[in-house]
């Protein structure tokens, strides 16, 4: 058993990134077989913002609730708060599988919510699951658990905000995400 209290920041980054990566992979595998392609209305609303290949391969599933990962037990046992409580999130994305949290979103999710998660689908595509986890966890721990300090998240919120205000021809969110994630020397690059 790992006691999170005994870890320094760098050890906590490694511990969380490794566990998160495995959790994302297993959640993706578990839910993908039960998930559906995006509904036609969603594809129509997001077309142009995302490429056809991305819209085609994404899967979505409504679940009654989103559960926190099993490794959170170690935080609980150490008397620590959970790093991120996923049970209150509207949705979460594991690779190319979007889970919509029925406890927060009883009906069909808005296009805006799905748009936000699609940003993560593209980020995962560029980075792979384990690098995505590392680039999420590193700034998250460094900012003392503020997920609004995570560039993967702030980019998603920025683009989502633009999408909500947008009228007229779509802008290619997908191209922007791919160039943002690839930019060297920014917090994205993390520490190697
Ligand atoms: Zn997000």
Euclidean distance between CA atoms 178 and 186, whole angstroms: 14
Euclidean distance between CA atoms 1 and 122, whole angstroms: 34
Among the listed residues 42, 38, 33, the one whose alpha carbon sits nearest the alpha carbon of residue 59: 38
Distance in Å, CA 136 to ligand 1 centroid: 10
Distance in Å, CA 114 to ligand 1 centroid: 10
Among the listed residues 92, 93, 86, the one whose alpha carbon sits nearest the alpha carbon of residue 70: 86
Tokens encoding 31:
């839910």
Does residue 137 contact residue 153 with C-beta atoms inside 8 Å? no
Distance in Å, CA 56 to ligand 1 centroid: 20
Q: What is the pLDDT of residues 71-113, one digit of tens each?
A: 888 888 888 878 889 999 999 999 999 999 999 999 999 999 9
Per-10-residue mean pLDDT of the chain, 192 residues long, equals 80 92 97 98 98 98 94 84 89 98 95 98 97 94 89 97 96 96 58 37
Is the pTM value of this prediction over 0.85?
yes
Distance in Å, CA 117 to ligand 1 centroid: 6
Give, as residue ranges, everything with CB less than 5 Å from ion ligand 1: 153, 156
Distance in Å, CA 82 to ligand 1 centroid: 18
Distance in Å, CA 89 to ligand 1 centroid: 9
The pLDDT value recorded for residue 1 is 62
């Amino acid at each position: 058993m790992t006691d999170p209290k005994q870890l320094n920041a760098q050890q906590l980054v490694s511990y969380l990134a490794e566990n998160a990566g495995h959790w994302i992979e297993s959640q993706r595998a578990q839910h993908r077989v039960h998930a559906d392609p995006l509904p036609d209305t969603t594809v129509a609303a997001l077309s142009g913002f995302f490429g056809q290949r991305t819209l085609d391969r994404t899967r979505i599933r409504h679940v009654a609730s989103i559960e926190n990962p099993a490794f959170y037990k170690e935080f609980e046992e150490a008397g620590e708060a959970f790093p991120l409580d996923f049970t209150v999130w509207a949705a979460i994305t594991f690779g190319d599988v979007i889970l919509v949290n029925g406890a927060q979103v009883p009906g069909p999710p808005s296009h805006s919510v799905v748009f936000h998660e699609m940003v993560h689908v593209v980020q995962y595509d560029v980075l792979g699951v384990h690098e995505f986890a590392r680039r999420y966890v590193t700034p998250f721990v460094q900012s003392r658990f503020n997920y609004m300090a995570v560039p993967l998240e702030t980019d998603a919120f920025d683009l989502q905000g633009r999408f909500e205000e947008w009228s007229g021809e779509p802008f290619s969110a997908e191209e922007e995400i791919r160039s943002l994630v690839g930019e060297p020397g920014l917090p994205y690059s993390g520490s190697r």
